[in-house]
């Protein structure tokens, strides 16, 4: 019974095994990235960047059809251009990063829509929007796994300045010039993970696997390392559970994965010990000191 429910889908079908590898790899990369985005108050920046990637991927698609390479390059170029442009404007002028990012991604999105409309709409474009987690080929899987591996290595190397810049940017500026390059590396990682995510989940849902686990994890711990671990667990767990829900009930897998992550978030808001609703409404007696 349990076997049929949890194991059989993956044991019997090759495409489910591929999807499983894909979502696990995505979860491992997106977990820590999402945590850092949330702590750097960039939760919505991820959404903006996902919109910025869409036109690039669409242009790649229009130029070469459903070609992994063209769409990846298009997405990376558009994403980097917007992230770096907005980052540069924010650091060089008085403008805050969120406003700069909004300006850049809106232009990018409009440009993308214009380009797509020149070639007429195409149903296959839905692949770009909502992904094809059940049809991941070897090349796409390799891309996703490579991006996750690279993300983990880059985060390991840049972890100290990344954390320091989030806690006390003024202090980092006073002791080191690592702040700006670190931030750019981080933006690049965000773009890469979104591009990896859009092959499986689509540009719009890729952000979900990044932000929902991080937001949910914040209700369970006050400690950064644990928070990253919890987020990775929630991201990977949502991936697996979402695939199973999708398999057994026949709903599209991308949205199913994100909805499971959304469910984890809702549970965390309700029951999370760190500032969740239930602990707040069921106060315990205060301590002596």
Our CB check for other proteins shows the closer of 65 and 181 to be 181
Closest to other proteins by CB, 118 or 289: 289
Q: Cα separation of 167 and 158, whole Å? A: 14
Of the pair 81, 178, the CB lying nearest other proteins is at 178
Q: Identify which of residues 63 and 185 has a Cβ nearer to other proteins in the complex.
A: 185
Q: How many Cα neighbours within 13 Å face the side chain of 205? A: 31
Q: Smallest gap, in angstroms, from Cβ of residue 227 to other proteins?
A: 6
Question: Exposure string (b/e) for 93-115, b if CB count within 10 Å is 16 or more?
Answer: eeeebeebbebbbeebbeebeee
- The nearest distance, CB 172 to other proteins, in angstroms, is 8
53 or 97: whose CB is closer to other proteins?
97
Q: 41-46 long-range CB contacts below 8 Å, 24 or more apart?
A: 42/97, 43/211, 43/215, 44/98, 45/97, 45/98, 45/101, 45/190, 46/190, 46/194, 46/207, 46/210, 46/211
Q: Least distance to other proteins from the beta carbon of 61, Å?
A: 39
Give the integer Cα–Cα distance in Å for 166 and 183: 10
Name which of 134 and 232 has its Cβ closer to other proteins.
Answer: 232
Smallest distance from other proteins to CB 217, Å: 10
What end-to-end distance do the CA atoms of the chain give, in Å? 52
Nearer to other proteins, 45 or 227 (CB): 227
Q: Which residues bind other proteins (CB under 8 A)?
A: 39, 157-158, 160-161, 163-164, 166-171, 173-176, 178, 218, 221-224, 227
Residue 23 Cβ, how far from other proteins at the closest point, in Å?
26
What tokens were used for 285? 């007696």
Task: Give me the residue label for tokens 């890729």.
Answer: 206
**Token digits of residue 170:** 């003024």
Whole-number minimum distance, CB 167 to other proteins, in Å?
5
- For the CB of residue 159, give the shortest distance to other proteins in the complex, in Å: 9
Q: Cβ(27)–Cβ(239) under 8 Å?
A: yes
Residue pair 128/58 in contact (Cβ under 8 Å)? The answer is: yes
108: its two tokens:
């990018």
């Amino acid at each position: 019974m349990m076997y049929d429910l949890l194991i059989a889908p993956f044991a019997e079908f090759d495409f489910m095994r591929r999807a499983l590898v894909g979502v696990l790899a995505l979860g491992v990369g997106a977990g820590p990235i999402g945590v850092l985005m949330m702590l750097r108050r960039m939760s919505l920046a991820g959404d903006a960047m996902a919109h910025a990637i869409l036109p690039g991927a669409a242009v790649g698609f229009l130029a070469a059809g459903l070609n992994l390479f063209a769409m990846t390059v298009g997405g990376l170029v558009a994403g980097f251009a917007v992230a770096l442009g907005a980052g540069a404007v924010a650091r060089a002028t008085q403008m805050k990063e969120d406003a700069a990012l909004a300006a850049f991604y809106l232009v990018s999105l409009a440009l993308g829509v214009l380009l797509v409309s020149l070639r007429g709409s195409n149903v296959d474009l839905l692949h770009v929007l909502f992904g094809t987690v059940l049809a991941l080929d070897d090349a796409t899987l390799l891309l996703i796994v490579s991006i996750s591996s690279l993300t983990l290595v880059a985060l390991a190397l840049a972890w100290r300045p990344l954390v320091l810049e989030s806690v006390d940017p003024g202090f980092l500026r006073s002791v080191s010039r690592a702040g700006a390059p670190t931030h750019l590396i981080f933006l690049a990682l965000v773009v890469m993970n979104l591009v990896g995510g859009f092959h499986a989940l689509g540009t719009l849902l890729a952000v979900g696997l990044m932000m929902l686990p991080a937001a949910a994890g914040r209700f369970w711990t006050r400690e950064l390392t644990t928070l990253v671990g919890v987020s990775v667990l929630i991201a990977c767990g949502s991936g697996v559970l979402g695939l199973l829900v999708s398999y057994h009930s026949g709903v599209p897998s991308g949205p199913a994965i994100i909805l499971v992550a959304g469910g984890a978030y809702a549970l965390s808001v309700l029951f999370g010990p760190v500032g969740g609703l239930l602990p707040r409404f069921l106060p315990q007696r205060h301590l002596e000191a």
